[in-house]
């Protein structure tokens, strides 16, 4: 096989420029030209993974099939490429140091002082090449988290410098993402921050090969020339990344800017076919030309920061486009819902989704929201904690178990309808110990879930410690709840549905993690269909 090519993506000037989206867009274009590509993310923080982080810190924690708790950018990679990622696609400083320290204890460096250079940088380099060694990929794109100049990114930048030197210029390149701000008072775009950020990289010994310039206004030819001259790159290596309506426009923009061509030329790879993007363009067209609109409430406690629900929001975009229906999401703080406010907050919606979450805060509002939509026949979709709340609501208000709860919130309840999974009871460590990753689930005949999926055996990704308490199954079933998805090995309840409701379905797993542009998730598509039907019936 030919040599694997490595592309590193760094960021300068400020964070939040969209390195993840640029990496995913470039990967999409290369994939659409017929290359096998994967993307990995290196995060400079010391946590082993983002699993123990509050969503307010870094947004959602994305979970892969193999049960890795990862950065939300891996979600973008999967949504764009439609290829699963794994633990190997996300490495943190914590993981690097943990490995090196373990090695030290085992005597791997006997006699030597263990240092950032070469031991930490060697381990970074080894990890950067792991996916390349699997033989599955021709091109590996590596996104370096953080911003150039940060103290904590330094070992990564040094590792990239060394790899660039070791591999040579045809096999390893650096794309640097910067900001070209517009100063309204001067009426001008300013290139100085980009120049300074490239200087910073140069100080670390790295000359970027391509500059992707994030901007609110188009870059004139003069500006492009100026950036090229002062940053030592070719004129065609200055790529404009203009703000767009949706992140899914970015691959098309990058195609127009010829980012893929520039990259392939630099690495001396053939262009192969023109990018095959028919499906992508069809998706964009449907997304931008909806035939109807539905209003969906997303009830959660992290709604101030939509990144906390990134995959859910994107799954709605994929499903909405498939249904040619604009999904207007209304973020509703669960703490703002009470018996009195439910009608005013939820009455006009065509469907509500109760989000995943942990802990006590906002739980009563979620339960109250579910009571309202159950009693008013509004389509409901519950995910993880959302399903658990639906069980609690049903127990309290239909089965009249007034103190029903999850033992996560009330350890002493007599009606522990949601209880800690048996295998979790002996675990005391918090990091990486939930029920994580992909598990099978069998769907019941005649269920809405089975119709949506169109097959009886599915696998979905999980992240939880608590489960439906099967002791109560019969009582729930007698009162009209069906358990339509069950794990075949453990009998753990994965899906619940209400028989006498137009659409009431909730899942213990996280369907949002598997929705991609190419394969919108069937349960999101089905939920939007229910919301459309609800809206039409209300007219």
- 328 vs 465, beta carbon nearer ligand GLN: 465
Establish whether 384 is a catalytic residue: yes
- Please identify, using beta-carbon distances, which residue of 219 and 370 lies nearer to ligand GLN: 370
Q: How far is the CB of 84 from ligand GLN (least distance, A)?
A: 20
Closest distance to ligand GLN from the beta carbon of 464 (Å): 3
* CB 487, min distance to ligand GLN, A: 14
How far is residue 494's CA from residue 511's CA, in Å, rounded to a whole number?
A: 11
Residue 519 DSSP label:
S
236 Cβ contact partners less than 8 Å away, ≥ 6 residues apart:
258, 262
Are 37 and 269 contacting, i.e. CB atoms less than 8 angstroms apart? no
Q: Is 510 a catalytic residue?
A: yes
**Of residues 441, 501, 512, 534, which has the active-site annotation?**
512
> How far apart are CB 62 and ligand GLN at their closest, in Å?
12
d(CA 154, CA 173): 18
Transcribe 72-86 into DSSP letters: THHHHHHHHH-----
- Identify whether 279 is a catalytic site residue: no
| Cα angle 412, 413, 414; round to 5 | 115
Give the bridge partners for 9, in sequence order.
143, 175
Measured between alpha carbons, how far is 84 from 66 in angstroms, rounded to an integer? 10
- Is the Cβ of residue 267 or residue 354 nearer to ligand GLN in the bound state? 354
Distance, in Å, from the CA atom of 302 to the CA atom of 288, rounded to the nearest integer, reads: 28
What CA–CA distance (Å, rounded) separates 102 from 366? Answer: 44
Would you say 228 and 234 are in contact if contact means Cβ atoms under 8 Å apart?
Answer: yes
* Nearest approach, Cβ of residue 508 and ligand GLN (Å): 8
Nearer to ligand GLN, 11 or 382 (CB): 382
Q: Which among 384, 393, 415, 534 is annotated as catalytic?
A: 384
**Could you tell me the CA-to-CA distances from 367 to 15, 122, 391, 394, 400 in Å, in that order?**
37, 51, 9, 9, 14
Rounded-to-integer distance, Cα 371 and Cα 383, Å: 16
Residue 310 Cβ, how far from ligand GLN at the closest point, in Å? 14
- Label the pairing between strands 504-507 and 493-498: antiparallel
Nearer to ligand GLN, 70 or 215 (CB): 70
Q: In the complex, which residues of this chain contact ligand GLN (CB under 6 A)?
A: 356-358, 384-385, 408, 463-466
Between 97 and 358, whose beta carbon lies closer to ligand GLN?
358
Q: What residues act catalytically?
A: 384, 510, 512
């Amino acid at each position: 096989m030919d040599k694997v090519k490595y592309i590193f993506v760094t960021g300068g000037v400020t964070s939040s420029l969209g390195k993840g989206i640029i990496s995913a867009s470039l990967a999409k274009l290369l994939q659409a030209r017929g290359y096998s590509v994967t993307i990995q993310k290196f995060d400079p923080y010391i946590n082993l993974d983002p699993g123990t982080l509050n969503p307010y810190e870094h947004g959602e924690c994305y979970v892969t099939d193999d049960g890795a708790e990862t950065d939300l950018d891996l979600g973008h990679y999967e949504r764009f490429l439609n290829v699963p990622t794994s633990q190997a696609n996300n490495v943190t400083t914590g993981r690097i140091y943990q490995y090196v320290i373990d090695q030290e204890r085992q005597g791997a460096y006997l006699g030597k002082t263990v240092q950032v250079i070469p031991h930490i940088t060697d381990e970074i380099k080894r990890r950067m090449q792991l996916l390349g060694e699997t033989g599955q990929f021709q091109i590996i794109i590596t996104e370096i988290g953080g911003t150039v100049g940060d103290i904590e990114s330094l070992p990564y930048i040094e590792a990239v410098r060394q790899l660039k030197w070791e591999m040579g210029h045809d096999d390893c390149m650096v794309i640097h993402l910067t900001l070209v701000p517009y100063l309204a008072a001067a009426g001008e775009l300013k290139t100085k921050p980009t120049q300074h950020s490239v200087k910073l990289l140069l100080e670390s010994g790295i000359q970027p090969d391509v500059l992707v310039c994030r901007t609110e206004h188009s870059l004139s030819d003069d500006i492009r020339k100026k950036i090229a001259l002062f940053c030592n790159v070719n004129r065609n290596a200055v790529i404009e990344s203009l703000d767009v309506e949706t992140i899914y426009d970015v691959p098309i923009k990058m195609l127009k800017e010829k980012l893929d061509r520039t990259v392939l030329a630099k690495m001396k790879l053939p262009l192969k076919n023109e990018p095959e993007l028919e499906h992508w363009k069809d998706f964009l067209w449907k997304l931008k030309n909806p035939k109807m609109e539905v209003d969906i409430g997303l009830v959660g406690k992290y709604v101030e920061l939509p990144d906390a629900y990134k995959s859910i929001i994107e799954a709605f975009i994929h499903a909405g486009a498939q249904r040619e229906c604009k999904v207007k999401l209304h973020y509703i703080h669960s703490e703002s819902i009470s018996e009195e406010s439910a009608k005013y907050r939820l009455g006009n919606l065509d469907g509500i989704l109760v989000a995943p979450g942990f802990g006590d805060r906002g739980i009563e509002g979620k339960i109250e929201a579910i009571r309202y939509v159950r009693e008013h026949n509004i389509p409901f979709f519950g995910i993880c904690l959302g399903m658990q709340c639906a069980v609690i609501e049903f127990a309290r208000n239909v089965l009249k178990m007034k103190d029903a709860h999850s033992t996560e919130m009330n350890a002493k309840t007599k009606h522990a309808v949601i209880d800690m999974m048996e295998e979790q009871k002996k675990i005391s460590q918090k990091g990486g110990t939930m029920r994580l990753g992909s598990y099978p689930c069998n769907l019941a005949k005649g269920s809405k879930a089975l119709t949506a999926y169109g097959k009886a055996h599915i696998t979905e990704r999980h992240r939880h410690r608590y489960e439906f308490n099967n002791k109560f199954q019969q009582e729930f079933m007698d009162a009209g709840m069906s358990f339509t998805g069950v794990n075949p090995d453990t009998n753990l309840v994965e899906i619940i549905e209400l028989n006498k409701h137009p659409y009431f379905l909730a899942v213990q797993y996280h369907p949002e993690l598997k929705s991609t542009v190419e394969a919108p998730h069937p349960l999101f598509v089905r939920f939007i269909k229910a919301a459309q039907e609800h809206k039409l019936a209300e007219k």
